């Protein structure tokens, strides 16, 4: 029911018969556009960088070797040259991010012999944070001094009898210069970009709703 003093809202606003006009703040619209477009662009670039950079980069791989199976003789170590203070990551080369691969990683131990003869032990079950890609998963990282480094890996007992059987298979590993975080720079664009795009969407909705004023 409506009378002369009742104003219809919704689609009727801004029609010639309506006494209401919707006012939108152009500055808010500009801010909303910048946040939304900029956030989406940053998110896309971040996703692309993660896809290209995360995980093992062949340009940073310094050595490739074989993990000695459980109860088998030691595998020959792989060697490479390092500079003082460098960090390296050992990755298990095994496809498919699943519980089986994680169990194999947990049953893998590597020893890096530094130039001064000291050992850096890396064990998959004791790393703080594991990083997995489609074809690799981290066993751990270590730091070293300048000189020739020798890395040897072997499978050690972990889990039940079924996993022990998998650990008696031969697997491959790679040593990469740097840490897994070196390939996650895209997150610095992806996460803020998603936040900016979300704020931009809220701002667009607020700008679109505007404020109602009576026409003079």
Looking at residue 57, what is its pLDDT?
80
Note whether residue 39 is domain-resident. no
Note whether residue 103 is domain-resident. yes
Return the CA Rg of the chain: 29
* Domain span at 94: 51-183
Q: Do the beta carbons of residue 178 and residue 91 sit within 8 Å?
A: no
Note whether residue 131 is domain-resident. yes
Which of the two residues, 96 and 67, has the higher pLDDT score? 67
Note whether residue 13 is domain-resident. no
How does pLDDT run across 75-111, given as a tens digit for each residue?
999 999 998 888 999 999 876 655 677 888 889 999 9
Angle (CA) 60 78 127, round 5°: 65
Note whether residue 135 is domain-resident. yes
Query: What are residue 140's phi and psi, to 5 degrees?
Result: 160, 180
66/203 Cα distance (integer angstroms): 55
Which of the two residues, 174 and 54, has the higher pLDDT score? 174
Note whether residue 159 is domain-resident. yes
The total of structural domains in the chain comes to 1
24/35 Cα distance (integer angstroms): 17
Termini Cα distance of the chain: 25
114/81 Cα distance (integer angstroms): 10
Q: Which residues pair with 91 in a beta bridge?
A: 138, 174
Note whether residue 74 is domain-resident. yes
The answer for residues whose C-beta is within 8 angstroms of residue 164's C-beta and 6 or more apart is: 70, 157, 158
Note whether residue 207 is domain-resident. no
How does pLDDT run across 165-214, given as a tens digit for each residue?
788 888 999 999 988 766 666 667 778 888 888 888 888 888 887 776 66
Residue 145's pLDDT band (cuts 50, 70, 90): confident
Which of the two residues, 154 and 181, has the higher pLDDT score? 154
CATH number of residue 55's parent domain: 2.60.120
């Amino acid at each position: 029911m409506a009378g002369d003093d009742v104003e219809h809202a919704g689609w009727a606003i801004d029609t010639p018969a309506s006494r209401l006009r919707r006012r939108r703040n152009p500055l808010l619209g500009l801010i909303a556009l910048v946040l939304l477009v900029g956030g989406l662009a940053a998110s896309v670039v971040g996703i692309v960088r993660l896809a290209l950079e995360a995980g093992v980069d062949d340009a940073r791989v310094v050595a490739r070797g074989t993990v000695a199976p459980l109860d088998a003789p030691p595998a020959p170590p792989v060697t490479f040259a390092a500079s003082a203070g460098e960090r390296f990551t050992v990755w298990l080369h095994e496809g498919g991010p699943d519980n089986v691969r994680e169990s194999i990683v947990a049953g893998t131990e590597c020893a890096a012999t530094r130039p001064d003869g000291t050992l850096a032990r890396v064990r998959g079950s004791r790393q703080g944070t594991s990083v997995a890609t489609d074809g690799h998963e981290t066993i751990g990282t270590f730091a070293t001094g300048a000189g020739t480094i020798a890395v040897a890996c072997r499978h050690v007992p972990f889990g039940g009898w079924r996993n022990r059987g998998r650990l008696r298979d031969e697997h491959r590993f790679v040593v990469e210069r740097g840490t897994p975080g070196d390939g996650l720079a895209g997150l610095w664009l992806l996460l803020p970009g998603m936040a900016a795009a979300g704020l931009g969407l809220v701002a667009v909705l607020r700008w679109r709703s505007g404020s109602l004023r009576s026409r003079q």
